[in-house]
Structure 1
């Protein structure tokens, strides 16, 4: 299985990418993966490379600016939604990903939605994994989930949030109780998830999001594209976990707003079904991508 790595120039910096699998004329259309965060490298989604082994489909990963193997510029003005939407477009253009399937997970679903709503040509389908379309609604749900934590854990979280000391190690340790329930329920966490989680650029995360999943203080705290979801005219697959921080209630609202969207709920997973149920997850995503391409081929033949 071939693997190609390199960098794409972006705003005077370098964005690192990895292409798993060979792209061949007339072969399967690549899947471009946009990972979550913000400020988190792509490693936790490495299980998706299994699509290449199992089906031959090329899978493209990249680390967003400010994290992982990409450049880490010391420039707070870069940490905006527009920067990362533009970066996604730059990666796609530099790697000639036309046509392409797009998969966005968590924060990556926000990037994917913003990008898709610009109506770029050459997109065959969209996979929204553990998605967010309405940040205030997401915060309300995560606050509800936070209330399920033991009282002693909540006390630590509340005390540091009130004091504005969410960078304190005590706060970060207490937050792990939430993440173990609603982010990834595997015990222990797999190494590729640990690599991502322990490498988060907190400056990027806090600028865009805030102190924690339920503590939105960054520039995205009021972000909401719900009213525009009806504009999406691509085949869309939505995936999430039964115990997901992106709760079934939130995801149901999104699915109902996207014309023709399909939804698969992974019963044994929280926010990371690609790692918690990797074989099942790849089967679902792989079948969806193959069906989209088969339908596109049928339409092309009919038009001819």
Structure 2
């Protein structure tokens, strides 16, 4: 189960002339390399929920992506592209000497992990896609379905504010808050690592790549779709989604159908953060998958 841990190492890596900070836990011979969501979030929430994998003998590495957390925060919007973040991820992997990794991407980190796998497939042992998608236009349709559950009048109100750009209006913000508690984290009190990440959110990368909130995609990733390329990813893949996930189980099924060596698990009584919402179910799924694909294990 998750617990907050002090990293064994804090490593600074130079990426494109900027400082990026990585965190390493444990000293296992195999590494779980975590790519957190956002974009624009510090890695705290994913780092703290997965550093406990050291108990299973893994090294766990996470990093604050450029523009977040302890890493440098340039204001050049041209930096906020998925292709640049792929190269940043590879730079961190090489700088830390991680070799082939179990890559774990959550939410936006899953989009990044898919893109990374298509560029650097040979660097992966497995790929773990958590609460993520491979087809943004499909996700946008799914989000409209989730919004519709608020009722036609509320949806009309949201569309009005989106057209006017008044995203900070109290009634619009209230609707987004309801959606967040239904589909992002269903706990009445969100865990401290989640709050830390959210309180330090850099909206520059987020607005550029995604949009103003979790339920409106208008950034440079709005047309991103890698489903046609998924058959190229042949390593073992674990896909997990919460039952009420904003990035819906239907998105997970779409990925599974395109991947030649994938399994899909839906975690009940959870939304976008099953590792906090239903850890008793989540962690056994993750650790069993990793155990099956450890080097030297006979299957």
Residues 235-259 of structure 1: CA distance to partner in whole angstroms, max 9, x if unpaired? 1000111111121222111111111
Number of the residue aligned with 2:61:
60
Greater shift in the superposed pair: 118-127 or 233-242: 118-127
CA drift of 1:297 comes to: 4.6
What residue number does 1:94 align with?
95
Task: Give the structure 2 partner of residue 4 of structure 1.
Answer: 9
Matched residues in 1 for 2:262 and 2:67: separation? 33
Q: What are the residue-to-residue correspondences of 1:107-256 with 2, within 5 Å?
A: 107-149=108-150, 153-154=154-155, 156-167=157-168, 171-256=172-257
Report if the CA contact (8 A) 2:121-2:233 is conserved: no
SS at match of 1:284: helix
1:238 partner SS: strand
Does the 8 A contact of 1:30 with 1:57 survive in 2?
A: yes
CA deviation profile, 1:269-290 (whole Å, cap 9, x unmatched)? 1011111122432221111111
Q: TM-score, normalized by length of structure 2?
A: 0.92
In structure 1, runs of 5+ residues without a counterpart are 300-304
Q: Which runs of 5+ in 2 are unaligned?
A: none
Residue 154 of structure 1: how far off its partner (Å): 3.7
Which residue pairs with 1:302 in the alignment?
A: none
In structure 2, distance between residues paired with 1:15 and 1:129 = 23
Matched with 1:14 is: 19
Q: Provide the secondary structure at the position in 2 that maps to 1:282.
A: helix
Q: CA RMSD in A?
A: 1.9
Q: Tell me if 1:42 matches 2:43.
A: yes
- TM-score normalised to structure 1 length: 0.90
Is the contact between residue 86 and residue 116 of structure 2 (CA under 8 Å) also seen in structure 1?
A: yes
Matched residue count: 293
Deviations 1:132-174 (A, max 9, x none): 1000110110111011125675455323201013255664443
